[in-house]
Copies of this chain bind each other. A is one copy, B any other.
Amino acid sequence: MRPHPAGAVTTPARMLEMPTWLISRAYAHAHRLLSDGFAAAGSRGYHYRLLGALEEFGPASQAALGRGTGIDRSDVVASLNELAGPGFIERVPDPDDRRRNIISITPAGTRQLRKLDKVLAGIQEKLLAPLPAADRTEFVRLLTRLLEPDN
């Protein structure tokens, strides 16, 4: 193979130390692990967030779920539809407020959540593998601090 026109092209040096770049690479890496793992379990990120919120806080309206998980109302609708298909959640109209649905997690949903929890735990491990144990806590601390202002 002949050399490329002007030699090899690699990641531009101007980016290699930029936090935004590093974060976006780290995200890409994590997201790949995540979506592979979730896909293998037949779910995706939104599903996990919603099931997690439902288990932790009990039945809630779609709007409350959206606010709590940071998922847009319209995306909550779609995701809950997907979760309702396999019977992971139940949608019941709120008799006290006919605008609302009350969403609850089903036993099957809880089982799915457990499954996803396991997948996720494995992924944290894989992701942090390059960091010695001491650095991992520090890493989490720094990230948490970075995000503190916007809660």
**Interface of A toward B, CB cutoff 8 Å:** 2, 4-15, 17-20, 22-27, 29-31, 33-34, 45, 49, 52-53, 55-61, 64-65, 67-70, 94, 97, 100, 102, 117, 120, 123-124, 127-131, 135-136, 138-140, 142-150
Chain copies in complex: 2
Interface of A is mostly: helix
Give, as a whole number of angstroms, the nearest-CB distance from A127 to chain B: 6
Partner of A25, one of B64, B65, B124, B147: B147
A129 to B89, CA, bound (A): 41
Among A18, A55, A146: residue with most chain B CB under 10 A: A146
Collect the chain B residues with CB atoms within 8 Å of residue A45's CB.
Answer: 24
A20 to B34, CA, bound (A): 8
Question: Is A57's CB under 8 angstroms from B9's CB?
Answer: yes
Q: A61-B4, A148-B130, A150-B29 are in contact. Are A143 and B56 (CB under 8 A)?
A: no
Question: Is A23's CB under 8 angstroms from B19's CB?
Answer: no
Give, as a whole number of angstroms, the nearest-CB distance from A7 to chain B: 7
Collect the chain B residues with CB atoms within 8 Å of residue A29's CB.
Answer: 146-147, 150
* Minimal Cβ-Cβ distance residue in B for A9: B68
Q: A68-B8, A69-B12 are in contact. Are A138 and B142 (CB under 8 A)?
A: yes
Question: Is A52's CB under 8 angstroms from B12's CB?
Answer: yes
